[in-house]
Amino acid sequence: MNLAEKYNSRTIDRYLPTDTLIFALGGLGEIGKNTYCIQVDDEIIIIDAGIMFPDENLLGVDYVIPDYTYLIRNQEKIKGLFITHGHEDHIGGIPYLLKVVAIENIYAPKFAKALIEKKLEEHRMSGRCNVIEINNESRFTSKHFHIGFFDITHSIPDCLGLAIQTPNGWIMSTGDFKFDLTPIGSNADYQRISYMGEFGIDLLLSDSTNSAVVGFSISEKQVAKSINEIMEKTRGRLIIATFSSNVHRIQQIISAAIACDRKICIIGRSMENVVQIARNLGHIKANDDDFIDPTLLDEYPTHKLCVLCTGSQGEPMAALSRMANSSHRYINIIPGDTVIFSSNPIPGNQSSVNGVVNSLTRLGANVITNSMLNNLHTTGHASQDEQKLMLQLVKPKFFMPMHGEYKMLRMHADTATEVGVPAENIFIVSNGDILVMRDHEVYMCDSNTIQTDDIYIDGTDSSGIATAVLKDRQILSDNGLVSVIVTIDSRTNSILCRPNIVSRGFVFVKEGQTLMKEAELVVYEALRKIMIQKTTFGEIKNTIRNTLEPYFYSRTHRNPIIIPVILNHKDAIALMQANRNRY
């Protein structure tokens, strides 16, 4: 039996009320919307409530969140939402969750607490629940759960892992982590992690994001050194783009700018919010006079300026993209500007980032991206050797890789077997799959799963976009739209003139004139036949669609959205209105 067959080999056909259930509503087989749940009988705890950012196929979608149906049906069992850190893929779903599920308390570390409170304020949900600050000394106790916390290193301050005691055994969740031996912020609590490993962890849930990256990730201090060197050598204006959530990186950039006697200008709403919160909490140390307003940029020499902005992933509406297409309100790229991308492109964003880089270069900027020659970025997630170290410290009996696409989960599972975790004790599961812990043993339930569909958020609508809406958007993007305008007289049940067809995104107007004229005749003949007898508006619309859809496909091999528009004679409308008023 190979390793793939041994993973998930321990199964059970049903679970008991006394069992401990472990499942994810999001975060498995994907990057984002991390939402993990642990349940014992009448109590549920939730670990994180994140969002996922859409790919290019989800047209018009702002965010993707998990389906909260299970939590809605069991909300009286929820004892708390526990947050590991303040990244959007771990806290972004909180406003949408609170709109449908009553949660009394959210437990979050200091920086995440401030970000959550700001987020709830923006959604006009302040006071909806209690946000309670926790740290590595905090403890939570309920009927079935005892939870402790430990410090972990990531790219944002105040990150915690969880150790959870249940009636059936101990569970540890690392959250997002890396082992940085010279961190900018607090160090990981190696001693406590090791102690819990000696004490005995039955099931480990661990971050799999960088399971394909060999070795150790570079330290954040090496990135700081590279940024300092570039800052000292650059003679013109310096524009640096990075993730607004990477507070440690932002601190290094600000410190380097101050050391080089440069004024700092913050561009981008998310960057402004994070910097303000981080300064209030002491994670970013700088004085008010170190910063300038964007309106004052022209009053300072270029060699005295450092612009810190969003847009490192080529997002179309982010500050750097608007600078690249010369549409930014305050900043125009000028020859001599140096632009630094202090990040790596997220998979899928490479073409967008390249487009921004080319546009900036065309405007005369010197663009520097992360490479082997200049360490301008490091990850916040553990590489293979760091994952091995975590596994060696914890020495779990059972292991479930989390936070990653399937390939990442699989490679993390393979890594676990290298350090001695038996393959039959490893579970590579999907959202909705249920692990059952019973008397310190873990099994996969093969007879039941939990509903975990994606919910698509468009604007502020938290109800989610129907799949049919996304299908229509896809059809519009691929095949376009055809509107058929028909004028009738409902008194005589007659069509008054040949239909008029207008298309958008379907065929080029000049080349499609003959096609449209023929289509108008096809519809006209079909309507004349059905209107020999009394008919309804619905039947007219169905006839238009049923006639044109096969006709257009036979001629163009495309299926545009067809929208019938029926105009009734004004005398007929007046007669119908009079009849309605009479009754």
Q: CA of 571: how far to CAs of 158, 478, 492, 537, 583, in Å?
A: 72, 40, 11, 17, 19
323-328 own/partner pairs: CB under 8 Å, 24+ apart: 323/239, 323/360, 324/355, 324/356, 324/359, 324/360, 324/363, 325/359, 326/363, 328/267
> Are 256 and 326 within 8 A, CB to CB?
no
207 belongs to the catalytic site = yes
Residue 169: both structure tokens together: 């055994």
Annotated catalytic residue within 85, 90, 248, 381 = 381
Q: CA of 299: how far to CAs of 232, 268, 371, in Å?
A: 21, 20, 34
Residue 257: both structure tokens together: 């700018």
Amino acid (1-letter code) at residue 318? A
Burial class (CB in 10 A: 0-12, 13-18, 19+), 60: middle
Q: What string of DSSP letters covers 141-181? A: E-SS-EEEEEEEB-SSSSEEEEEEEETTEEEEE--S-B--S
> Are 107 and 45 within 8 A, CB to CB?
no
Annotated catalytic residue within 19, 151, 207, 433 = 207
Q: Using alpha carbons only, what angle is made at residue 259 by residues 258 and 265, rounded to the nearest 5 degrees?
A: 25
41 belongs to the catalytic site = no
Q: How many CB atoms lie within 10 A of CB 491?
A: 13
Q: How many CB atoms lie within 10 A of CB 489?
A: 16
Q: Which residues contact 507 (CB under 8 A, 6 or more apart)?
A: 480, 515, 516, 556
Q: For 476, list phi and psi in degrees, rounded to 5.
A: -60, -40
Three-class SS state of 307: strand
> Are 530 and 540 within 8 A, CB to CB?
yes
Burial class (CB in 10 A: 0-12, 13-18, 19+), 478: exposed
> Are 32 and 50 within 8 A, CB to CB?
yes
Q: Report d(CA 455, CA 566) in Å as an integer.
A: 34
Amino acid (1-letter code) at residue 302? T
Candidates 188, 167, 176; CA nearest to 43 is 167
Q: List residues bridging with 298 in a β-sheet.
A: none
Q: CA of 75: how far to CAs of 43, 178, 452, in Å?
A: 9, 33, 16
Three-class SS state of 206: strand
Residue 422: both structure tokens together: 């038996």
State the pairing for strand pair 366-368/203-207: unpaired
Q: Report d(CA 230, CA 224) in Å as an integer.
A: 10
Catalytic residues: 207, 381
